[in-house]
Amino acid sequence: MKGVAGLLLAAGTSSRMGRPKQLLPFGEASLLDHALQHTLRSELDRVVLVLGHRAQEIREHLHTDLHHPKLTILENTDYRNGISSSLLCGLREVEEVFDHLMVILGDMPYITSDLINLLIRQYLASGQSLGAVKTKTGRSHPVILGRRFYPDLHRLEGDVGARDLFARFPEELCLVDPGDTYQDLDIDTPEDYEAVRNSRRGG
């Protein structure tokens, strides 16, 4: 069985934030650095970072080692066509080699290397073709898909991810309990950002 590649998606325009959320100060670096460092520390065999809007500026301001041996950085020039274009950009890079694909959103600060590893291990042990993090209301990111669903990903268009596949094939889904420290939060607005920062300070 070939390994698991991870797609870290960070190509969006941050329209609701008003500035590139990828570069928001977070911890000792930026929000995207935080996501990228956790992804690279994980047991993923390959990491593909997909940039788009203001890609060169974001790349130049990252503090992470961009020469890490398992990291590839791609620029999705079609990023305005939505998340499906970033998925396809990354998928084309890894689909010939890797039998499993994990999708990670760069604006979800509670996705850690430990969570990624937990999902990889339980998903592979289950023998299922889909995996996701279990939440109180259903499922969340990161998610993982087996090779049998790659053709479905190629058919995606617009600002649509793989959510429909998880709804259509529940019998093939491995749901993983992330534990009490995980919060199903992403950062889209200044209010989201302040709430997460205040939560981290309070913790």
Per-residue pLDDT tens digits for 110-137: 999 999 999 999 999 999 999 999 998 8
Rounded CA-CA distance 85/93 in Å is 13
Top-level class of domain 4-202: alpha beta
By mean pLDDT, which of 73-82, 103-112, 151-160 is the weakest?
151-160
Give the pLDDT confidence score for residue 1 in this predicted structure: 46
Query: Is 14:21 a contact under the CB 8 Å cutoff?
Result: yes
Where would I find the beta strands (DSSP E) of the chain? Answer: 4-10, 25-26, 29-30, 46-51, 71-75, 100-105, 130-135, 138-146, 173-176
Q: How far is CA 115 from CA 19, 27, 109, 159, 185, in A?
A: 28, 19, 12, 26, 14
Taking the mean position of all CA atoms in its chain, how far away is CA 150?
17
H-helix or E-strand spanning residue 99: none
H-helix or E-strand spanning residue 193: helix 190-202
What are the structure tokens assigned to 23, written together? 């570069």
The structure's pTM equals 0.94
Give the pLDDT confidence score for residue 203 in this predicted structure: 44
Nearest to 39 by CA among 64, 13, 75, 3: 64
